[in-house]
Amino acid sequence: MWPHRKRPSYGFLGRVQSLGINYGQVANNLPQPQHVLELFRSLKLTKTRIYDTNPQILTAFANSNIELIVTIENEVLTDLMDPQQALQWVCTHIRPYFPATRITGIAVGNEVFDTTLMAYLVPAMVNIHAGLVQLGLDEYIHVSTPCSLAVLAESYPPSAASFRQELAGIMLEFLQFLSSTKAPFWINAYPYFAYKDDPARVSLDYVLLNYPNSGMIDPLTKLHYDNMLYAQVDAVIFSVAKMGFGGLEVRVSETGWPSKGDSDEIGATVENAAIYNRNLLSRQLAHEGTPLRPNTRLEIYLFALFNEDLKPGPTSERNYGLFQPDETMAYNVGLSELSASSTSSASISLTSSANHEVAKMGYQSLVYWMFVYLVAIQVLMRRPF
């Protein structure tokens, strides 16, 4: 550790306000990382997440100013129970590339709470963070893990949401770690699955983020939700607050829509995928927050950059990409048009759908802080004095 040394300043700019994108590599026909970097530049994309620490990608993206979140594979978690192995992992996979490659986060596993490895998760995160501290990198790189919505026992309405009871102990440790290190809670959220499983009852406009649509009103908070993605995120925010951590930021580590599926994968079409991702991009450019946190722009990473031909499972799993492996568009969501125009003109042309929320922001912010206050009172009342 450097207890008496001034930490180095790497001259990073503030967080770039843009849509992130997941760069998966489960394929045998993808372009070389240097070509992918050129694609990022042409589209003016500035944030990405990869599912490993591929040295070719980390080297290619050096000096590009593109923010990267890297991932520790699930199968490595048991090794990281040893603090020395965790430090060695940081020294091998992070230190040689940073700061030239702008690594901003480490995802420790992916959807680990859905596996038998969850007992190893928090110790691994603690040890990885300790390794970053020892190398003086903890101020620049956060440590978290993406969770699926399966961590919730209830998600509808958002105010009724809570974590599964059997996760209470480990979830408390996890949230304590995030709070102490000021790291975000990452959630993988796919409204597509809700529609696929029950298309007769779930509104397509609601899951596609179309506006206007009647949506739903939370009976407790009276907040109006015009899309399922924001409702899912607020369900997580409520669940986190009920555990006593209302100040944590919740970010979307994955969301997307498949452009092709099997016969029983209702809604997996090019048209729906284009609409979902175009609406998502529009809302991101409008700097939208959720109804519960309207003044905090929701950070989202779209899944995914490419169609990946080696992914197992149903046809949809191989068809989430915005691009084909030859870098042609699977469908057009408007990224090319935006890259050809200035940020200001793009924002002006795409923010009209969000303007109707501006007048509500003061009231919604008040509702949120009233809720946090009530949760805090409940937590204090439960404590023995």
b or e along 267-297 (b: 16 or more beta carbons within 10 Å of the residue's beta carbon)? bbbeebbbbbbbbbbbbbbbebbbbbbbebb
For residue 62 the two structure tokens come to 């050096």
Active-site annotation holds for 254: yes
For residue 316 the two structure tokens come to 């949809």
Q: Which residues make beta-bridge pairs with 105? A: 69, 142
- Kindly give the residue spans of alpha helices, DSSP state H, lying in 28-117: 33-43, 55-60, 83-93
Beta strands per DSSP E along 102-190: 103-108, 142-144, 146-148, 152-154, 162-163, 185-188
For residue 324 the two structure tokens come to 């084909």
Amino acid present at 267: G
Catalytic residue among 111, 265, 288, 299: 111
Catalytic residue among 38, 75, 249, 254: 254
Active-site annotation holds for 249: no
Whole-angstrom Cα distance, residue 211 to residue 200? 20
106 neighbors 128 (Cβ within 8 angstroms): yes
Q: DSSP of 248-285, one letter per residue?
A: --EEEEEE---S---TT-TT-SHHHHHHHHHHHHHHHH
Amino acid present at 30: L
Whole-angstrom Cα distance, residue 318 to residue 256? 12
Judged by DSSP in three states, 335 sits in helix
Judged by DSSP in three states, 133 sits in helix
b or e along 48-58 (b: 16 or more beta carbons within 10 Å of the residue's beta carbon)? bbbbebbeebb
Tell me how far the alpha carbon of residue 210 is from its chain's centroid: 21
Kindly list the catalytic residues.
111, 254
